[in-house]
C-alpha cells in the first residue's frame, strides 16, 4: 500500500502571513545571530495546510551545513511556542544562493563586522575567479587581502584590511 502524500498547503491569508513572518524574523541564524532566518533567505515558502499545520520550506545554505538542523528546530519551536503546529520541509531546488540575503541582512552583516557577498553569482565560473576586492566592513577600504579561504564558518573567508589593519570575515558568494 502506498501512503498518500501530505497535503500541500496554500499561502496563508495576509494577516496570518504577516504574523508568521514576524515570528520568523525573531529566529536567529545560529552561526550569525544578528541575522534572522528571513534575513538569510533560507525560508523559501510558508504554507497553511488544510488541517491548520504551518509548513515552512527551508533551503540549506549549502549541503551538509551543520546549522540546518538547528535552524529547522528553532523555526518549529518558535511557531509552536506561538500556538501553531509547524513542520519544516527541505527545499533543495533551486539551491540556496547568497543572493537571497535580504538588503536588511546585508546591512546587519556590515554592522556586525562581516563583509556581505560582493556580487550576484550568475555563473559557476564566477566562484572560481581570483580573489575579489572586498570592502572592509569597518572602514570601507577595498585595500584588503584574503588570509584564509575559511573563516569562522565554512561559508566565510578570513580577510585583513591593509588600511585599518583589522581582520574580518567575508560571507562568500554561493
* Rounded distance between C-alpha atoms, residue 139 and residue 82, angstroms: 41
Helix H or strand E segment including 76: helix 68-81
DSSP string, 99-164: GGS-HHHHHHHHHHTEEPP-S---SGGGGGSPPP-PPPTTT----EEEEES--SSTTEEEEEETTT
pLDDT in tens, the chain (174 residues): 333 344 567 889 999 999 999 999 999 999 999 999 999 999 999 999 999 999 999 999 888 888 899 999 999 999 999 999 989 888 888 889 899 999 999 999 999 999 999 766 566 665 566 667 899 999 999 999 999 988 888 888 999 999 999 999 999 887
Q: Around Cβ 14, how many Cβ atoms within 10 Å?
A: 8
Measuring CA to CA, how many Å separate 131 from each of 123, 142, 150?
Answer: 16, 12, 13
Domain boundary assignment for the chain: 14-90, 100-171
Q: What is the DSSP letter of 31?
A: S
0.85 exceeded by pTM: no
Topology adopted by domain 14-90: GMP Synthetase; Chain A, domain 3 (3.30.300)
**Contact criterion met (CB below 8 Å) for 50 and 6:** no
Q: Around Cβ 163, how many Cβ atoms within 10 Å?
A: 13
Amino acid at each position: 500500500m502506498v501512503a498518500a502524500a501530505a497535503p500541500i498547503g496554500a499561502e496563508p491569508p495576509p494577516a496570518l502571513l504577516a504574523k508568521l513572518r514576524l515570528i520568523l524574523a525573531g529566529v536567529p541564524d545560529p552561526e550569525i545571530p544578528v541575522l534572522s532566518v528571513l534575513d538569510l533567505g533560507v525560508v523559501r515558502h510558508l504554507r497553511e495546510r488544510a488541517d491548520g499545520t504551518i509548513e515552512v520550506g527551508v533551503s540549506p545554505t549549502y549541503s551538509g551545513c551543520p546549522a540546518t538542523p538547528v535552524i529547522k528546530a528553532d523555526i518549529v519551536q518558535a511557531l509552536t511556542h506561538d500556538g501553531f503546529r509547524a513542520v519544516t520541509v527541505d527545499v533543495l531546488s533551486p539551491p540556496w544562493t547568497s543572493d537571497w540575503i535580504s538588503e536588511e541582512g546585508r546591512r546587519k552583516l556590515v554592522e556586525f563586522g562581516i563583509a556581505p557577498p560582493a556580487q550576484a553569482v550568475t555563473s559557476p565560473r564566477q566562484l572560481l575567479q581570483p580573489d575579489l576586492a572586498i570592502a572592509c566592513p569597518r572602514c570601507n577600504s577595498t585595500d584588503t587581502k584574503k588570509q584564509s579561504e575559511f573563516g569562522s564558518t565554512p561559508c566565510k573567508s578570513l580577510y585583513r584590511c591593509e588600511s585599518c589593519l583589522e581582520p574580518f570575515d567575508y560571507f562568500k558568494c554561493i
